[in-house]
Amino acid sequence: MDFMKIIKSLEQLLYELMVWLVFYPLTMARAIFHPLRLMDYADDELDDEDEDRYSDTLSPPIFLAITLALIHVVEVAEGWNLTTEGLLADDRNLIAFRLVAFSLFPLMLSLRMLRAKGVALDRKTLRMPFYGQCFIAGPFALGIDSATLTIAGGLHLGIAWLIVIAVTAWYLAVQTLWLRSALRAGWLRSFGNAVRGFVEALAIILILNVLVELLG
């Protein structure tokens, strides 16, 4: 194997890791405080060349994956892994399951928007809303898993439920605003589509969880 190629690969890996340290918190802050602006930015960036895409943030799917990985690191470091048996007792399986679970929210809400708008479904039309959705799925995943860690850390169950309610309300509010803009629809229709997409994703996650428990 070419030694210089190894050096170049390590150089690129180190740079990417350092870039993540800088742009991950910036992306998270923008996702929390300016979610709609960030979703519009995600749409615009897809038209750029690969090397210029998401130059001042992380790629949306990578942002979501890093969020879930960081949550798991904290969970393991504190000994708060609640799953001690079955398939999800393995760290790799648990991370993979969470990544699929939280990716279902961007997927189902993107599909809900395309159906409501009457846009033909293909890989290109789905990609644009999905990438934008991944940005706001990051804070949502952080909030939901933080509630789980709150319970694991021995804090009051009520605090965990307050976190879940707050982050879900934020998430549905952002979805409602996004759908209202995308569909040029009223508040009630937009909120209804947001709730429907959310419930559809949640139902699939519950089914997957049952299947995982049966296989485990």
- Closest of 80, 48, 60 to residue 150, by C-alpha: 80
Interval 177-216: pLDDT, tens: 999 999 999 999 999 999 999 999 999 999 998 998 888 6
Distance CA 25, CA 45 (A): 19
Residue in this structure with the two tokens 């790629």, named with its chain if needed = 59
What are 188's two structure tokens?
């009630």
Q: Provide the domain count of the chain.
A: 1
The secondary structure of residue 121, as a DSSP letter, is: P
- Closest of 208, 60, 37, 216 to residue 130, by C-alpha: 60
Which pLDDT score, from 0 to 100, does residue 26 have? Answer: 95
Structural domain that includes position 52 = 3-215
What are 11's two structure tokens?
């150089």
Distance CA 80, CA 58 (A): 28
Interval 29-83: pLDDT, tens: 999 999 999 999 998 998 877 777 898 899 999 999 999 999 888 877 776 665 5
Distance CA 152, CA 148 (A): 6
What are 134's two structure tokens?
């991944």
Task: Say which amino acid occupies 106.
Answer: P
Interval 119-157: pLDDT, tens: 999 999 999 999 999 999 999 999 998 888 777 666 677
Which pLDDT score, from 0 to 100, does residue 88 have? Answer: 76
Interval 10-40: pLDDT, tens: 878 888 888 889 999 999 999 999 999 999 9
Are the CB atoms for 27 and 58 separated by under 8 Å?
yes
Interval 78-111: pLDDT, tens: 766 655 567 777 878 888 999 999 999 999 999 9
Task: Record the pTM.
Answer: 0.89
Distance CA 215, CA 178 (A): 38
Which pLDDT score, from 0 to 100, does residue 51 have? Answer: 75
